[in-house]
């Protein structure tokens, strides 16, 4: 079990945004969290990534044999030590920096180690230079994979929307995560781009063996790519299982009340 969420609850003042949620995400699988707007999906993400502190619950992420309890960790430690990488609903790229720089920044932790608090870097020692070259190569490999190698030196903010989405995913992957969390990655993408995204996600899952957790509204993507679907409504889990089972679940259909995408 890669990620185990147990009895997660979070309260904002009088509002119980997430109510006793438990589910699991496996490595080598794509798990989707769906539900109507306001169901608490992004709130769950924010709890996982350290932006909110849950009122109750345990979030256990296992990486390299070590279990990390995310509910007690600082945001940046969750990314760096526990290996949970995330993309955002409103893309958060470093718009003023280049495409390449965005990916190199993601490899901050290993580069910092190699530069020995910048001393090795300042002196231009070969150990650091090797690390930097490796980081650039890795970035280029990802850029090639998402088709942005030709635009490596362009400002990230100048890319078209679909490219920015892909870049954000590539950036998250450059942190060598154990679990990749994607917040509505298909938002704003057209059908073709969504298809490409689905292929990318499947490729990541199959080649790297990491787990992917995603929030989505686009049912074609969810049904087409997920190994497991968790359905939330008003902060509570109302279904949890393979896509086909969830699709025909009575409670889920009721919650969506005919909003189900017949894609």
Partner 1 sequence: MGTRVAAALKDAALAGFVALVLAFPLVGFATNDEGGPSLAIHTRFTWVLLGGAGVFAARLVLTVLRALLPHLVKVGRSNSPARLAGPRRHGARLFGALLVAFAIALPFLPFSSRYLVDLGTTVLIYIMLGWGLNVVVGLAGLLDLGYVAFYAVGAYSFALIARWYGLGFWEALPLSGLLSASFGVLLGFPVLRLRGDYLAIVTLGFGEIVRIVLLNWTDVTGGPNGIAGVPRPTFFGLVLLPRAPNGGATFSQFFGLSFSPDQRIDFLYFVILALALVTNAFSLRLRRLPIGRAWEALREDEIACRALGIDPTRVKLSAFAIGAMLGGFAGAFFATRQGFISPESFTFQESATILAIVVLGGMGSQMGVVLAAILLVTFPEFGRAFAEFRMLLFGAAMVAIMVWRPRGLLAQRAPSVRLRAAAVAVEAT
Partner 2 sequence: MAYFLQQLINGLTLGAVYGLIAIGYTMVYGIIGMINFAHGEIYMIGAFISFLAFLVLGALGLASVPLALFAVLLIAMAFTAVYGWAVERLAYRPLRGSFRLAPLISAIGMSIFLQNYVQLLQGARVKSLPPVVTGGFRIMEQGGFVVQMSWLQLMIIVLTVALMAGFSVVISATPLGRAQRACEQDMRMAQLSGIDVDRVVALTFVMGAALAAVAGLMVMLYYGVIDFFIGFLAGVKAFTAAVLGGIGSLPGAILGGLLIGLIEAFWSGYFASGYKDVSVFGVLILVLIFRPTGLLGRPEVEKV
Q: Is residue 155 a contact point for partner 1 (CB under 8 A)?
A: yes
Q: Which residues contact 11 (CB under 8 A, 6 or more apart)?
A: 17, 55
CA distance 27 to 115: 32
87 binds partner 2 (CB under 8 A): no
From residue 145, how far is each of 141, 148, 152 by CA, in Å? 6, 8, 12
User: What is the size of the binding site for partner 2 (CB under 8 A)?
Assistant: 5
Q: Which of 50, 54, 57, 243 lies at the binding interface for partner 1 (CB under 8 A)?
A: 50
**Measured distance between the N- and C-terminal CA atoms of the chain, rounded to whole angstroms:** 31
Q: Examine residue 76 and tell whether it contacts partner 2 (CB under 8 A).
A: no
Is residue 98 at the binding interface for partner 1, with CB under 8 A as the rule? yes
* CA atoms lying within 13 Å on the CB side of residue 147: 11
DSSP 12: E
Smallest separation (angstroms) from partner 1 to the CB of 177: 9
Which of partner 2, partner 1, none does residue 122 bind (CB under 5 to 8 Å by kind)?
A: partner 1
Residue 234 sits in the site that holds partner 1 (CB under 8 A): no
Q: Which residue, 122 or 199, is less far from partner 1 as judged by CB?
A: 122
Q: Does 157 bind partner 1 (CB under 8 A)?
A: yes
Residue 46 binds: one of partner 2, partner 1, none (C-beta under 5 to 8 A by kind) = partner 2
Q: Record the tokens describing residue 174, joined without a space.
A: 């450059």
**Which residues, other chains included, contact 103 with Cβ-Cβ below 8 Å and sequence gap of 6+?**
138, 139, 142, 143, 167, 170, 171, 174
User: What is the DSSP-derived secondary structure letter of residue 72?
Assistant: G
Query: Does residue 173 bind partner 1 (CB under 8 A)?
Result: no
Q: Does the protein bind partner 1 through residue 97 (CB under 8 A)?
A: yes
Q: How many amino acids of this chain bind partner 1 (CB under 8 A)?
A: 50
Q: Of 7, 28, 38, 51, which lies in the binding site for partner 2, with binding defined by CB under 8 A?
A: 51
Binding partner at 95 among partner 1, partner 2, none, C-beta below 5 to 8 Å by kind: partner 1
Alpha-carbon Rg for the chain, nearest whole angstrom, is 19
CB-nearer residue toward partner 2: 12 or 141 = 12
Sheet of strand 228-233, all strands in order from the earlier edge strand to the far edge? 84-86, 179-183, 211-215, 30-34, 228-233, 236-241
Say how many C-beta atoms besides its own lie within 10 A of residue 15's C-beta: 9
The footprint of partner 1 (CB under 8 A) covers 49-51, 75-77, 79-81, 85-86, 88, 92-98, 100-101, 104-106, 108-109, 111-112, 115, 118, 121-122, 129-130, 132-133, 136-137, 140, 149, 152-158, 171-172, 175
């Amino acid at each position: 079990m890669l990620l185990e969420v147990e009895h997660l609850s979070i309260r904002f003042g009088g509002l119980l945004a997430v109510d006793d949620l438990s589910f699991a995400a496996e490595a080598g699988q794509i798990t989707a969290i769906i539900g109507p707007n306001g169901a608490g999906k992004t709130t769950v993400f924010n709890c996982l990534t350290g932006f909110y502190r849950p009122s109750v619950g345990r979030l256990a992420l296992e990486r390299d044999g070590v279990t990390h309890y995310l509910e007690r960790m600082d945001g940046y430690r969750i990314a760096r030590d526990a290996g949970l990488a995330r993309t955002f609903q409103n893309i958060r790229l470093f718009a003023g920096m280049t495409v390449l720089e965005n990916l190199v920044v993601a490899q901050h932790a290993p580069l910092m180690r190699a530069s020995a608090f910048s001393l090795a870097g300042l002196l231009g020692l070969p150990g650091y230079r090797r690390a930097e070259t490796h980081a650039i190569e890795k970035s280029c490999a990802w850029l090639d994979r998402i088709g942005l190698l030709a635009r490596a030196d362009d400002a990230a903010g100048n890319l078209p929307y679909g490219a920015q989405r892909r870049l954000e995913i590539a950036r998250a992957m450059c942190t060598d995560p154990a679990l990749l969390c994607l917040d509505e990655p298909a938002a704003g993408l057209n059908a073709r781009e969504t298809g490409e995204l689905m292929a990318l996600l499947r490729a990541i899952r199959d080649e790297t063996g990491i787990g992917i957790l995603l929030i989505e509204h686009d049912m074609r993507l969810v049904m087409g790519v997920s190994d497991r679907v968790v359905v939330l409504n008003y902060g509570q889990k109302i279904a949890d299982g393979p896509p086909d089972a969830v699709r025909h679940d009575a409670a889920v259909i009721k919650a969506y009340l005919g909003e189900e995408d017949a894609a």
